[in-house]
Amino acid sequence: MDFPDLPLVKVSRRGAKRLKDGHVWVYRSDIVNADGIAPGALVGVLDEREKFLGTALYSSASQIAIRMISKDAVNDLDRLLRKRILDSIAYRERVVRDSDAYRIVFSEADSLPGLIVDRYNDQLSLQVLTQAMDTEAVRRIIVSELVERLQPAAIAERVDPRVRELEQLPARSSRLLEGEKRSTVFSMNGVRFHYEAFEGQKTGAFLDQRENYAASAQYARGEALDAFCYQGGFALHLAEHCSKVTGVDSSRPALEVADRNAALNGREIEWIEANAFDLLRDYASAGQQYDTIVLDPPAFAKSKSNLGTALRGYKELNLRALKMLRPGGILVTCSCSYHVSAGEFLEVVAQAARDTHRNLRIVENRTQAKDHPVLLTVPETAYLKCLVLEVS
Ligand code: SAH
């Protein structure tokens, strides 16, 4: 077979099996030969018998040496990238409802490995995670396609310095790639939020929770506590149905935005700057009670090695929340750690139920919003767990 212009990488039997099983990554330890391949190159992938397996993006730095971009031989990367972006946009048009903020491109899950693009109303926020997506040629194509298709008022690039370091990419700062606008207001499920292109965590908001906000709001009532509330995503959604809502976070800047968001929606919410672990412990031992509690902590398990600590953390939080929920109360409990499986998370919450002698009924067993699609054969694309439970 003929692969014009593509340098070739040979992968081991194990690497080839992984690809045949539907994964899109091959680790460095499964690369047989990648001599002379430039960082970020588009490469043809061969098995040990020289059978062609597809086209991939190469990284000279990451343990994930290749990320597949097509099962075919790609001769025109420009065309392929444009088509992938178009497909990503079309998919969101089919699945996103009641929101002008959502993820437009989710890396591997959109066959654009190493690229994240989020939309916040008239603005886009872009993140580049790999050598291949960082080349000037690829950046030009991505930005021009996004501008052509979506006509955003601005495109911001948010840089994670640690990612660039790990990919051995030169340091860059976050900046506008297009346009001048840096702030806007976006809305999800009828709730409005302030957005600042270069402030806050992730690209600004936790868009992956969008559908979980709406789902939780259906069951929420009475007095509610939103622990790890950030800029008030859950709290603001609960406010419509609850008599009183308290949001807790350790980040003052996040709470300042949360307060502005409450004003924007005409809501009265109590914001408390505190370590949520301490606050839940103190409130639980003081006998405080709630009808609705949301737990949405940051990822405790950053790697497999601290899984045990992470599970203890989740158990602790859920235990304290269960102690404070009135009979018939609602617990919304989340984990965004990929390393904690859905099964392990259910088990940890079950342990907390046993320890507190509470019965939990699963009202909804949820995951990330549909604009963060899960590829069935790439387990790493599924990371968010969100359980809505009724406590008796
Ligand atoms: N529920 C939010 C997202 C939460 S992200 C939403 O839907 O938008 C996790 C949040 O936990 C961050 O805002 C971070 O500031 C906060 N955080 C991290 N450690 C904390 C701690 N020990 N106590 C309270 N908040 C903490």
d(CA 99, CA 205): 13
- 204 Cα–ligand 1 center, Å: 13
Does the structure show a pLDDT above 70 at 273?
yes
Kindly indicate the confidence band of residue 317, based on its pLDDT and cuts at 50, 70 and 90: very high
pTM higher than 0.85? yes
Q: Tell me what the mean pLDDT of segment 121-146 comes to.
A: 97
Give the pLDDT confidence score for residue 31 in this predicted structure: 98
Q: Looking at ligand 1, which residue's alpha carbon is closest to its atom 1?
A: 229
Per-residue b or e along 211-228, where b marks 16 or more CB atoms closer than 10 Å to that residue's CB: bbbbbbbebbbbbbbbbb
pLDDT tens by residue, 214-256: 999 999 999 999 999 999 999 999 999 999 999 999 999 999 9
Does the structure show a pLDDT above 70 at 391?
yes
Does the structure show a pLDDT above 90 at 385?
yes
d(CA 304, CA 5): 39
**Best mutation site among 213, 249, 295, 309 for ligand 1, i.e. most ligand atoms within 8 A of its Cβ?**
249
User: Any residues with Cβ below 6 Å from ligand 1, and which?
Assistant: 206, 209, 228-231, 233-234, 249-251, 254, 275-277, 296-298
Give the pLDDT confidence score for residue 3 in this predicted structure: 59
Per-residue b or e along 318-351, where b marks 16 or more CB atoms closer than 10 Å to that residue's CB: bbbbbbbbeeebbbbbbbbbbbbeeebbeebbee
- 154 Cα–ligand 1 center, Å: 28
Q: Tell me what the mean pLDDT of segment 119-136 comes to.
A: 97
**Best mutation site among 191, 210, 228 for ligand 1, i.e. most ligand atoms within 8 A of its Cβ?**
228
Q: What residues form DSSP beta bridges with 54? A: 45
Q: Tell me what the mean pLDDT of segment 335-342 comes to.
A: 95
Give the pLDDT confidence score for residue 129 in this predicted structure: 97
Determine contact, residues 357/312, Cβ cutoff 8 Å.
no
Give the pLDDT confidence score for residue 2 in this predicted structure: 55
Residue holding tokens 């993006």?
57
- Percent of the chain residues past pLDDT 90, beyond the cut: 96
pLDDT tens by residue, 64-90: 999 999 999 999 999 999 999 999 999
Task: Give the number of residues written for the chain.
Answer: 392
Average pLDDT value for the chain: 96
Find, among 70, 330, 352, 319, the residue nearest to 216 by Cα: 330
